[in-house]
Amino acid sequence: MYPYFVLLTLLAVSACAQVSTVYVIKRAVTYAQTCTYYSTVTLGGNALVTTSLFSSACNSPLVPGPFVTQDCFTGVLLPVVSCAAPVTASACVPSTSTRTSTTFILNALGITIAIGTGTTPIPTSTCSATAFPPNPLQPAAGTVCLADNVGGVRALSGPSMSSSSMTNAACKTYCTSLGFAYSGTEYSSECYCGNTLPTVASSSCNMACSVSGSTEICGGPNALSVSTNSAIVASNAAAATWINQGCYSDNYPSRVLASTSTTSSTLTIEKCITFCNNAGYILAGLENGYECYCASSLQSDGATYGVAGQSGCTFTCSGNTAQACGGNNVLNLYSKNSGAPPIAAAAAPVPATSNGYTYVACYSDQTSAGRTLAVNKSTIASVDACIIACNTASFKFAGVENRNECWCDNVLRSSTTLAAKNCLLPCSGTPSENCGGINAIGVYQGTASSNVRIPTTAGGKTYLDSYVDSTSDRLLSIQQNLASNNVGDCNRACSNGGYQYAGVEFGSQCFCGSSLPGSPTGGQTPTMLCTGNSSQFCGGNNILQVYSGTPAPTVLTAPVTNGQCVADNTNNVRTLSTFIGASSSMTPAACKTSCIGFVYYGVEYGSECWCGNSFPSSTVVSTQCTMPCSGDGAQICGGSYALNMYNS
Taking only the tens place, the pLDDT of each residue in 31-43 is 222 222 333 333 3
Other Cβ atoms less than 10 A from the Cβ of 493: the count is: 29
Which of 78, 82, 87, 46 shows the shortest CA–CA distance to 65?
82
Q: How far apart are CA 95 and CA 601, in angstroms?
A: 139
**Backbone phi, psi, residue 48, to 5°:** -110, 135
Contact status, residue 387 vs residue 444, Cβ threshold 8 Å: yes
The per-residue pLDDT for 98 is: 36
Contacts of 89 (CB under 8 A, 6+ apart): 43, 48
Q: Report the alpha-carbon distance of residue 55 to residue 41 in Å, rounded.
A: 17
Task: Return the number of other C-beta atoms located less than 10 Å from residue 600's C-beta.
Answer: 21
**Which pLDDT score is estimated for 355?**
82
Q: Supply the DSSP string of 100-120, one letter for each residue.
A: --SEEEETTTTEEEE---S--
Q: Indicate the residue type of 573.
A: V
**pLDDT higher than 80, residue 85:** no
| Least confident segment among 114-123, 381-390, 404-413, 562-571 | 114-123
What contacts 476, CB < 8 A, 6 or more positions away? 499, 501, 502, 503, 511, 512, 513, 516, 544, 546
CATH tag, 241-335: 3.50.4
Q: Closest by alpha carbon to 624, among 571, 566, 547?
A: 566
Given a contact cutoff of 8 angstroms between Cβ atoms, the answer to whether 596 and 648 are in contact is: yes
Using CA atoms, how far residue 70 sits from 11, 45, 234, in Å, is: 19, 22, 53
Answer whether 27's CB lies under 8 Å from 40's CB: no
| DSSP letter, residue 453 | B
Q: How far is the CA of 349 from the CAs of 209, 358, 418, 556, in angstroms?
A: 61, 11, 12, 63
pLDDT of residue 614: 94
Question: Do 603 and 609 contact (CB within 8 A), yes or no?
Answer: yes
- Bridge partners of residue 645, in order along the sequence: 564, 602
d(CA 499, CA 505): 17
Q: Identify any residues that bridge with 543 across adjacent strands, giving them in sequence order.
A: 468, 540
Please state the φ and ψ torsions of residue 61, each to the nearest 5 degrees: -60, 135
Q: Would you call the peptide bond into 94 cis, given omega within 30 degrees of 0 as the criterion?
A: no
The whole-angstrom separation of Cα 479 and Cα 494 is 9
Q: What is the pLDDT of residue 450?
A: 55
434: number of CA atoms within 13 Å, CB side? 25
**Better-predicted residue by pLDDT, 400 or 124:** 400
The Cα 268–Cα 266 span in angstroms is 7
| C-beta of residue 605 within 8 angstroms of C-beta of residue 598 | no
Q: Among candidates 560, 579, 576, which has minimal Cα distance to 568? A: 576
**What is the Cα 46 distance to its own chain's centre?**
81
Q: What pLDDT score does 2 carry?
A: 27
| 554-602 tens-digit pLDDT | 788 888 889 989 999 988 899 999 999 999 999 999 999 999 999 999 9
Mean pLDDT of the chain: 77
Angle between helices 269-278 and 230-239 (to 10 degrees): 90
pTM score: 0.40
Do the Cβ atoms of 357 and 311 come closer than 8 Å? no
Mean pLDDT of 210-225: 93
